[in-house]
């Protein structure tokens, strides 16, 4: 199947060619025909599968056809609502890239910056508006935006919209949208609530599910470090100093935690930036740009800021703190291993986080292999963990802990022979009996 087979017009085919896309990804192959035919869609695909193009390409083509029929003043015809500023900017860049030969205009609006440039762009006329909910409602209430001509409405990261408490904003938006619009909901994970809600909002939607909700991003190798909270800084520094990864995204649960990690890395001359909701938009963009260009190799992020971030070649994700929402784990590790690339995701789990880990493993239906030997193995028995999971944690059997090294993703084969003493073991966390490790994790001893 080629993009041409999907019935796309030349200006779009040329733009896709310029992007270096040869064939549509599965979500694109399935969604584009549905969307071109004007039907509503509920799409579920894991991160990095090309879902942005899956919805933007058909919208561009439909808008192009509409514009050929009806000339006149540009009006906002397509609205894409997304939870974070960074994601909005990225989607805007995609629309610009895929629509570059069409003459269609898009603009991105989000909070945290002055509104002048945004209202100016709106004044000049746009066909596609990509927005975060708060600023969108704000500019609507000031009379800068009308949704009455919207033909295409996309809710991206739909599950997140519920999680982040955007649902009231979304309801307000829905009340302003014309009834005869085409609506698309896209999400990497599909919680039951979102499916139920979507079914109420979408009109006879087609569903495209590329991977079941439990699936952790394919190709991402995962490993788990049991480590005491106090030892996490040392473990992080050791890993960053010993592993030849080019770009590392480190997740913390809180903004404060992210800043703290930046400071502790600075003390050992590891340059990093933090990206979180308390940073100004300028600082967030700068941090992201420097990370994407390779100027800084380490980015410390909270979930809200990292949502949907697409950094090509990101080889390592470190969960410095385990997320308390299991789906978040899937999103985090999906930052690496995007678009056919492989990646590694390492998670630091302290005693208090073991219950989160249990939920994650249940969701992904996998037991994450444990790095049994490292310098900071947490010897706390499972019984002493707050949440008392059923199974016992295995110990290091008195062996002197030594730094371990993971095979990196620089083309060196990861599937090499495993040292007997460095075998991944089950995490010792109570799990569904059917849960089997799907992936082998290879550890190298130097
Ligand atoms: P997304 O899931 O939309 O965030 O896309 C993930 C990455 O895949 C982005 O870097 C896209 O540029 C890239 N991508 C999207 N569609 C294709 C395609 N058909 N072929 C190759 N790369 C693609």
400-440 pLDDT, tens digit per residue, is 333 333 333 223 333 333 333 333 333 333 333 333 332 22
Give the pLDDT confidence score for residue 335 in this predicted structure.
Answer: 77
Give the pLDDT confidence score for residue 378 in this predicted structure.
Answer: 85
CATH code: domain of residue 164: 3.40.50.300
CA atoms of 201 and 185, how far apart (whole Å): 10
Residue nearest to ligand 1 atom 1, measured at CA: 50
Do 224 and 362 share a domain, yes or no?
yes
Do 171 and 231 share a domain, yes or no?
no
Q: How is residue 94 annotated by DSSP?
A: H
Do 166 and 59 share a domain, yes or no?
yes
Q: Is residue 259 part of a domain?
A: yes
> Residue 370's pLDDT band (boundaries 50, 70, 90)?
very high
Give the pLDDT confidence score for residue 381 in this predicted structure.
Answer: 58
Q: How many CA atoms lie within 13 A of 188 on its CB side?
A: 26
CA of 91 relative to ligand 1 center, distance in Å: 11
Percent of the chain with pLDDT over 70: 78
- How does the average pLDDT of the chain come out, rounded? 80
Query: What is the total count of domains within the chain?
Result: 2
209-236 pLDDT, tens digit per residue, is 876 433 555 568 899 999 999 999 999 9
Q: Is residue 289 part of a domain?
A: yes
Q: Is residue 391 part of a domain?
A: no
Do 132 and 279 share a domain, yes or no?
no
**In the numeric block, which tokens belong to residue 292?**
């994407």
> Residue 339's pLDDT band (boundaries 50, 70, 90)?
low
Which tops the pLDDT comparison, 49 or 80? 80
Q: Which of 210, 238, 254 is the last residue of a domain?
A: 210
Helix 354-364 and helix 326-333, axial crossing angle in degrees, nearest 10: 70
Which tops the pLDDT comparison, 127 or 330? 127
Residue nearest to ligand 1 atom 17, measured at CA: 50
Do 307 and 349 share a domain, yes or no?
yes
CA of 29 relative to ligand 1 center, distance in Å: 13
Give the pLDDT confidence score for residue 158 in this predicted structure.
Answer: 83
Give the pLDDT confidence score for residue 338 in this predicted structure.
Answer: 60
Residue nearest to ligand 1 atom 21, measured at CA: 21
Do 251 and 358 share a domain, yes or no?
yes
Q: Is residue 201 part of a domain?
A: yes
Q: How many CA atoms lie within 13 A of 159 on its CB side?
A: 22
Q: Is residue 435 part of a domain?
A: no
Do 175 and 255 share a domain, yes or no?
no
Do 114 and 66 share a domain, yes or no?
yes
Residue ranges around ligand 1 (CB below 6 Å): 21, 24-25, 28, 47-53, 310, 312, 338-339
For the CA of 312, the nearest atom of ligand 1: 10
Q: Is residue 446 part of a domain?
A: no
Give the pLDDT confidence score for residue 211 in this predicted structure.
Answer: 60
Do 155 and 125 share a domain, yes or no?
yes
The answer to whether the CB of 116 falls within 8 A of the CB of 135 is no
Do 113 and 251 share a domain, yes or no?
no
Q: Which of 349, 370, 385 is the last residue of a domain?
A: 385
Q: What is the mean pLDDT of residues 360-365?
A: 85
122-170 pLDDT, tens digit per residue, is 999 999 999 999 999 999 999 999 999 999 999 988 877 766 678 889 8
Pocket test for ligand 1, best of 12, 50, 87, 187 (most atoms within 8 A of CB): 50
Q: How many CB atoms lie within 10 A of CB 341?
A: 15
Do 297 and 261 share a domain, yes or no?
yes
> Residue 73's pLDDT band (boundaries 50, 70, 90)?
confident
CA of 379 relative to ligand 1 center, distance in Å: 42
Q: Which of 385, 409, 431 is the last residue of a domain?
A: 385
Give the pLDDT confidence score for residue 342 in this predicted structure.
Answer: 65
CA of 48 relative to ligand 1 center, distance in Å: 6
Question: Domain span at residue 23?
Answer: 3-210
Give the pLDDT confidence score for residue 18 in this predicted structure.
Answer: 92
- Bridge partners of 22? none
Do 291 and 169 share a domain, yes or no?
no
Give the pLDDT confidence score for residue 213 in this predicted structure.
Answer: 36
CA of 36 relative to ligand 1 center, distance in Å: 19
Q: Is residue 269 part of a domain?
A: yes
Q: Is residue 426 part of a domain?
A: no
> Residue 306's pLDDT band (boundaries 50, 70, 90)?
low
Pocket test for ligand 1, best of 45, 53, 80 (most atoms within 8 A of CB): 53
CA of 253 relative to ligand 1 center, distance in Å: 27
């Amino acid at each position: 199947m080629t993009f041409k087979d999907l019935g796309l017009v030349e200006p779009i085919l040329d733009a896709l060619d310029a992007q270096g896309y040869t064939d549509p990804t599965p979500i694109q192959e399935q969604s584009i025909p549905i969307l071109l035919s004007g039907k509503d869609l509920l799409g579920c695909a894991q991160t990095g599968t090309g879902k942005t193009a899956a919805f933007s390409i058909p919208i561009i083509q439909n808008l192009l056809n509409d514009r050929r029929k009806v000339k006149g003043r540009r009006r906002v015809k397509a609205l894409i609502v997304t939870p974070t500023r960074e994601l909005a900017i990225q989607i805007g860049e995609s629309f610009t890239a895929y629509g570059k030969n069409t003459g269609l205009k898009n603009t991105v609006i989000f909070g945290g910056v002055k509104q002048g440039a945004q209202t100016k762009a709106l004044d000049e006329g746009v066909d596609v508006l990509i927005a975060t909910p708060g600023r969108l409602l704000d500019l609507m209430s000031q009379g800068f935006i009308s949704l009455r001509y919207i033909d295409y409405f996309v809710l991206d990261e739909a599950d997140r919209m519920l999680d982040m408490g955007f649902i009231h904003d979304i309801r307000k938006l829905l009340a302003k949208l014309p009834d005869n619009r085409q609506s698309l909901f896209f999400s990497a994970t599909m919680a039951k609530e979102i499916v139920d809600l979507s079914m109420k909002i979408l009109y006879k939607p087609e569903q495209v599910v590329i991977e079941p909700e439990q699936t952790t991003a394919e190709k991402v190798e995962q490993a788990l470090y049991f480590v005491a909270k106090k030892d996490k800084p040392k473990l992080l520094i050791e890993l960053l100093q010993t592993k030849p990864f080019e770009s590392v995204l480190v997740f913390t649960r809180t903004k404060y935690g992210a800043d703290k990690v930046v400071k502790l890395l600075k003390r050992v001359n590891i340059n990093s930036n933090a990206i979180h909701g308390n940073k100004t938009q300028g600082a967030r963009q700068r941090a992201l740009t420097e990370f994407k260009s390779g100027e800084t190799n380490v980015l410390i992020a909270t979930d809200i800021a990292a949502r949907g971030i697409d950094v090509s070649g990101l080889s390592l994700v470190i969960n410095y703190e385990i997320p308390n929402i299991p789906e978040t784990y899937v999103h985090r590790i999906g930052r690496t291993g995007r678009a056919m690339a492989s990646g590694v995701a390492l998670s630091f789990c302290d005693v208090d986080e073991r219950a989160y880990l249990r939920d994650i493993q249940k969701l992904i239906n996998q037991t994450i292999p444990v790095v049994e030997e490292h310098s900071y193995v947490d010897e706390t028995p499972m019984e002493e963990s707050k949440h008392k999971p059923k199974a016992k944690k295995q110990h290091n059997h008195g062996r002197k802990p030594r730094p371990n090294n993971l095979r990196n993703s620089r083309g060196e084969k990861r599937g090499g022979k495993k040292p007997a003493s460095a075998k991944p073991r089950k995490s010792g966390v109570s799990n569904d009996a059917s849960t089997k490790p799907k992936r082998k994790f290879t550890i190298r001893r130097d």
